[in-house]
Amino acid sequence: MAADHFSRQASAYAKYRPSYPEALFSWLASLVPSHELAWDVGCGNGQASVPLAAHFKQVLATDLSVAQISAARPHPRIHYRAAPCHESGLPDASCDLVTVAQAIHWFDFDAFYAEVRRVLKPGGLIAAWTYQLLRGEPAIDATIARFYAETLSPWWPPERRWVEAGYAGMPFPFAVLPAPSFEIRVHWTLADLVNYIGTWSAVQRCLKETGRDPTLELLERLRPVWGEPARRREIVWPIALVAGRLMQAG
């Protein structure tokens, strides 16, 4: 069963996490023969579910966290439900696309993949992606990298290693398809950036266990290199993505 690292900051997650590029969803939709149903697993507040609804008649969006589901963006073609990753409730061979945005590294792989194999239609697709450590200007990058690797080192869950590896080597028992490169780009103020970092699971674990908010220290480190706090700077996240189809028996 997947651990719940995000209920505590569900409202902040909905407000401060960046959105995925539309090109990603158009690419995924182009790879499946029909567009009746997509299952978005570990949906959080619906950041991938809502764009999927532009391409599919129905989207089932599930997440272990009731708090995240409560913060999700409503949409007439999306059905949100709190459920573990291996309990979709879908009929066999009913799903055109299964997506996992920024979440598969938390899952029980064996249980989840068994459910994916059960619900995917012939020719259906599974895709999982994560965004890696952000990039800005060199001085900003260095400050955040030090915060990530040193200040937060004791607080990262072990599953985070899959994100750091860009999902390379992660169990993925499907026929992998080549994927184009995607990235997220935003123009943020200093407050936007620090609020986003405040949603990281390691920040929340540190806050819960020590009562200390480590982003206050980060903010002071960033002020001299950011300049005017209201100035908007470009922030970029490379997206690591794996996509595949059911392997043929024999």
CATH of the domain at 17: 3.40.50.150
In a domain, 167, yes or no: yes
Whether 217 is covered by a domain: the verdict is: yes
Q: Mapping DSSP to helix (H, G, I), strand (E, B) and coil, where does residue 163 land? A: helix
For 194-204, what is the mean pLDDT?
94
Buried b vs exposed e over 103-132: b needs ≥16 C-beta within 10 Å? bbbbbeeeebbebbeebbbeebbbbbbbbe
pLDDT grade for 247, boundaries at 50, 70 and 90: confident
Could you tell me if 13 and 71 are in contact, meaning their C-beta atoms sit under 8 angstroms apart? yes
Residue 5 in any domain: the answer is no
Half-sphere exposure at residue 64, Cβ-oriented, CA atoms within 13 angstroms: 19
Domain boundaries, position 217: 10-245
Exposure on the CB side of residue 23, measured as CA atoms within 13 A = 8
d(CA 122, CA 154): 44
Tell me how many domains the chain contains: 1
* 4, part of any domain: no
Asked, for residue 125, whether it belongs to a domain, the answer is: yes
**How far is it, in rounded angstroms, from Cα 81 to Cα 89?**
10
In a domain, 152, yes or no: yes
- Strand bridging mode 120-131 / 233-245: antiparallel
Q: Give the pTM.
A: 0.91
* DSSP symbol at 91: P
Q: What's residue 15's pLDDT?
A: 83
pLDDT higher at 8 or 77: 77
Across the range 39-61, mean pLDDT stands at: 97
Q: Over the chain, what is the mean pLDDT?
A: 93
* pLDDT for the residue 250: 41
Domain-embedded: residue 182 = yes
At 152, which amino acid appears? L
